[in-house]
Amino acid sequence: MYALSMKHIWGKSTRFLLKGGMLALLALTNSPNAQAAAPARTNAPYAESICSSNSDVFFCEDFEGAADSIMIHGVQNTSNTWKNPAIEFTDVYWSSGGTRQLSTAQLPGFDSTKNRVWRIAKGPQTFTDIVTGKNPGTGDGGLQGRLNAGLAGSGETDFYVRLQGWWSADHLWPAEIDFKQFVGLPRSGWNTPTDAWWSADFGFWQDYWCSTGSGYTNFNDVPMVRYSKGGTNTTIFPAANTYCPTLSPGTSPNGTNAPRIQRERWYTFEMHWVLSQDTAVARIELWVDGVKAYDSRGSGIRTCATGGPCTGMGYIILLAYMNRVDPQRGYYEVDNIVMSRKYIGLPGNSVPPVQPPTTPTGVSVNP
């Protein structure tokens, strides 16, 4: 129900930039310009009450807006539009593949006969948008843009992003590089990537592995958070060969072993970034279905590189981007995207939730 288009995506080992598309925008937190809640949508109230009543929430997208709120005609089409009231500038030039649909499987807590999601076709099957009647083919379904300065000022450095995702039975996890679902950047966005002394990304990376006897095994179905160490020098959290061994696919997180994701099942992911060059302040957390999976506290990471600016996040991307060296098949659905200055929790919360207790300090995670 929520969701950029991007002209460049960070590569893998070499971390170069590739042309591509993306899926949706999200953005910042902790702004002195905070208002009552996410900006209201004309004649279309949000499905979740927190989007209208929670003062920590500054962005919502649930794909229930008016017919012209999202108009995707195809790749590189200047008529593509995405009208989210929290976004002051959009780039949906590369948004092919994305359509509004009723969810394939029921999303818990929502009416499957009415609830709209953003479906991104990777191929070979394509879909016709149930609202506009347009069929934009296959692609990355990208919606992206710059958050309104009245909401986030020059950017946010401590923010939470929650989204719900579902993958079709024929979806392929990345075999060579990655599958990205969210990217956060400074307000300068993609036009000046060297200014990004930090990035805040969520998705799946093929190069996560665990030792297995005398060798190692890669796991491309483990949800990961990526951060930048300066320019195009990025890395994933958790690092390879930590949080090992992995859990079996579909098993609930335990905070010690990396979870693995199943196809044809709805998941709720919530990410927390604290951008800082100070290792005592910088932090990354991930919850899966409301259960803490990872916490970087005590790991010594920096979420902003030293020697460069650590500006707040002000440009967001929601997407289903796979580098072109990876085979593209199946489709992905996303819904109920919320961004907040505090922990959000599972959908359906009508009052600010109580944040789960943090992992005690001094506890070894995975030696």
Give one DSSP letter per residue of 82-116, joined into a string: E--TTEEEE--TT-TTEEEEE-SSPPTTS-TTT-E
Select from 3.40.50.410, 2.40.420.20, 2.60.120.200, 1.20.950.20 the CATH code of 9-340: 2.60.120.200
- Which is more confident, 21 or 325? 325
Tokens of 346: 């599972």
The pTM (predicted TM-score) of the whole model is 0.84
Give residue 319's pLDDT. Answer: 87
Average pLDDT over residues 269-290: 94
Lowest mean pLDDT among 119-123, 214-218, 349-353: 349-353
| Three-state DSSP state, 150 | helix
| Three-state DSSP state, 118 | strand
Give residue 312's pLDDT. Answer: 84
Residue ranges of domains in the chain: 9-340
**Contact, 122 vs 130, CB < 8 A?**
no
Alpha-carbon distance values, 292 to 2, 143, 270, 272 (Å): 23, 28, 9, 11
Q: How far is CA 275 from the centre of its chain?
A: 16
Residue 19 has pLDDT above 90, yes or no: no
pLDDT, tens digit, for every residue of 119-142?
Answer: 999 999 999 999 999 999 999 998
pLDDT, tens digit, for every residue of 144-176?
Answer: 889 988 776 667 889 999 999 999 999 999 988
Average pLDDT over residues 304-327: 83
Instruction: Work out the burial of residue 122: count CB atoms within 10 Å of its CB; fewer than 13 is exposed, 13-18 middle, 19 or more buried.
Output: buried
